[in-house]
Amino acid sequence: MRYQRDNYPNMLLRFVVENFLSFSDELDFTLFPYTRLREKKDHIYRTPEVDLLKTAAIYGANGSGKSNLVKAMAFLRDFAVLGDLHQGHGLAGPFRLDADRLKQPSHFEIEFLHEGTYYGYEVHATRSRVVVEKLSILHPGKDEREVLFSLLVVDGEHKVDIHPRYQQSEEDKARINFFLEEFLTPTASLLRVLARNNAFPEMQQAVNWLRNHFIVIQPHDNFINIAEVLYKDEGFRAFGLNLLKTMDTGVTDMALDRMPYETFFGLDDEQKKQEALAALHQGHDYIKMNVHGEELLLRLEEEEVVVYRAVLFHEAEDGTLIKFSIREESDGTRRVLDFLPVWRTLKSAPAAIVIDEIGRSLHPSLLDHLIRIFMNNETRGQLIFTTHEDNLLSQEVFRRDEIHLMNKTAKGNSEAYPLSDFKSRNDTDLQKNYLFGRFGGTPRLGHYFTLEQRAAVNE
């Protein structure tokens, strides 16, 4: 079912993972609101068939599986966008504490809304091959799905079924056979193979959402290139400065610094310059490069390679503005800068952004400030994040169905559940009850014994 693309955002509905890292049993993570909760209705996006939450905060003890959930999302995204099991983050493997699970494939499934169409994408895979792959159009109100393609491996052979809409002529059938023979390998994504051609627009739309509207950020990833955003988005500088002024970073301005290639790199990097020239002569407006942790843009201007980098300004005692490179800033300030493009995206573009360890290198008060800005403002995107910051656990900030808790069972299996599963009043102190262990998601600590004490107990 299709709708006007400008009226409805591109959103995540649901993510499923099973037999992957610490997930033995199926984990069904959804962004559907709990219908009995009446508070904070502005935290709900109304789409044509289902209501969806604007955020999900995931809490849990160290080792509970929070990061593994993000890794599962990153794997599925990379597989679909890059097109092969062994590219990107790669498949980390099945649940290892059960011998039977080691023999079975990992299972991933994602449901999302893109340009008015609800999609479901499913993959079952081992480390060495794809076993099942399927893309469907969903009709949530009718609980129906229209399978666009399915791949199933039987006795080592691919069994592929393509929807009749793509096989209306002999030319269509020949095109499909060509793509299957030329590009489909045991580790390849059939979705990505078909998305190569304009004859499969729904496959292209699915890959487009996964590439451009489903952003998964792990702890040591750079969020978004600040120089690139300053170059492409005229309104970003004013937006970023407005936000920075509320955060006591000392940054008073930001800009793009332009310099000749030789000024930045020196005269001894002729080989790199020729490689950059070759890439730029292929028609790219710019190419990106990371040098010592600093993100650069290289452009070709009048047959000369020019380097652009983001710089920040701090005010000296006498009022003079002093220029700093990004790498000269503290880890905390750099982390704040990381958030600026994310917050800009959430405000201006429909996207689902997943961030593991959102509070890394950030003071708890700064994180609280950023989250409240997001929750209290009009946005077009969804924010899903993992954290240990219990100061965010407040019904002033979140609905209870926006808070998810993750535990690991005695058998080592990770499980998750929303806080709305617990009966609690609107004035319940969530932070206090969480720290007391009422909701789970906190470490189970034992007594510490020295080796001598433990030996005495064992005797």
Q: Give the domain extent around 322.
A: 226-336
Reported as a single tens digit per residue, the pLDDT across 378-401 is 788 899 999 888 777 877 788 889
- Are 76 and 192 within one domain? yes
Give pLDDT, residue 453: 54
177: confidence class by pLDDT, cuts 50, 70, 90: very high
310: confidence class by pLDDT, cuts 50, 70, 90: very high
305: confidence class by pLDDT, cuts 50, 70, 90: confident
**Cα three-residue angle 59-61-66, rounded to 5 degrees:** 55
pLDDT (mean) for 139-150? 89
CATH of the domain at 67: 3.40.50
Is residue 344 domain-resident? no
- Are 247 and 103 within one domain? no
- For the cut 60, the answer to whether the pLDDT of residue 458 exceeds it is no
2: confidence class by pLDDT, cuts 50, 70, 90: very low
- Are 26 and 173 within one domain? yes
- Are 300 and 366 within one domain? no
Average pLDDT of the residues of the chain: 85
Range with the poorest average pLDDT among 2-6, 238-242, 422-426: 2-6
- For the cut 90, the answer to whether the pLDDT of residue 167 exceeds it is yes
- For the cut 60, the answer to whether the pLDDT of residue 448 exceeds it is no
316: confidence class by pLDDT, cuts 50, 70, 90: very high
- For the cut 80, the answer to whether the pLDDT of residue 8 exceeds it is no
The one-character DSSP state at 84 is B
- For the cut 80, the answer to whether the pLDDT of residue 44 exceeds it is yes
124 C-beta neighbours (distance < 10 Å), count: 20
Report helix, strand or coil for 219.
Answer: coil
- Are 259 and 209 within one domain? no
349: confidence class by pLDDT, cuts 50, 70, 90: confident
Is residue 62 domain-resident? yes
Give pLDDT, residue 4: 37
- For the cut 60, the answer to whether the pLDDT of residue 55 exceeds it is yes
- For the cut 80, the answer to whether the pLDDT of residue 222 exceeds it is no
Total domain count, the chain: 2
Give pLDDT, residue 272: 73
- Are 160 and 247 within one domain? no
Give the domain-ending residue among 280, 303, 336. 336
Q: Give the residue, 16 or 357, on which the prediction is more confident.
A: 16
Range with the poorest average pLDDT among 3-17, 142-156, 307-321, 409-423: 3-17
Range with the poorest average pLDDT among 3-17, 254-268, 301-315: 3-17
For residue 251, list its beta bridge partners.
314
pLDDT (mean) for 55-62? 91
Residue 274's H or E segment, with its range, is helix 270-280
- Are 103 and 234 within one domain? no
- For the cut 50, the answer to whether the pLDDT of residue 355 exceeds it is yes
- Are 155 and 13 within one domain? yes
Q: Classify residue 31 by burial, with Cβ atoms within 10 Å: 0-12, 13-18, 19+.
A: buried
Give the domain-ending residue among 282, 310, 336. 336
Q: For residue 10, what are its two tokens?
A: 């591109």
Give pLDDT, residue 146: 96
- Are 133 and 265 within one domain? no
Give pLDDT, residue 445: 39
Give pLDDT, residue 264: 82
Give the domain-ending residue among 336, 358, 376. 336
Range with the poorest average pLDDT among 36-40, 51-55, 152-156, 170-174: 36-40
Is residue 49 domain-resident? yes
- For the cut 60, the answer to whether the pLDDT of residue 451 exceeds it is no
- For the cut 70, the answer to whether the pLDDT of residue 71 exceeds it is yes
- For the cut 70, the answer to whether the pLDDT of residue 454 exceeds it is no
Is residue 148 domain-resident? yes
Is residue 220 domain-resident? no
Is residue 425 domain-resident? yes
CA max distance for the chain: 82
- Are 149 and 22 within one domain? yes
68: confidence class by pLDDT, cuts 50, 70, 90: very high
Is residue 276 domain-resident? yes
Compute CA distances 241 → 89, 189, 192, 235, 370, whole Å: 34, 42, 39, 10, 14
What is the length of the chain? 459
Compute CA distances 80 → 34, 87, 426, whole Å: 31, 10, 41
- For the cut 90, the answer to whether the pLDDT of residue 136 exceeds it is yes
pLDDT (mean) for 121-134? 96
Give pLDDT, residue 326: 86
- Are 40 and 156 within one domain? yes
For residue 382, which amino acid is it?
A: Q
Reported as a single tens digit per residue, the pLDDT across 408-420 is 998 999 999 898 8
Reported as a single tens digit per residue, the pLDDT across 432-445 is 555 445 555 554 43
Give pLDDT, residue 192: 96
- Are 360 and 330 within one domain? no
Is residue 155 domain-resident? yes
For residue 104, which amino acid is it?
A: Q
For residue 188, list its beta bridge partners.
84
- For the cut 70, the answer to whether the pLDDT of residue 204 exceeds it is yes
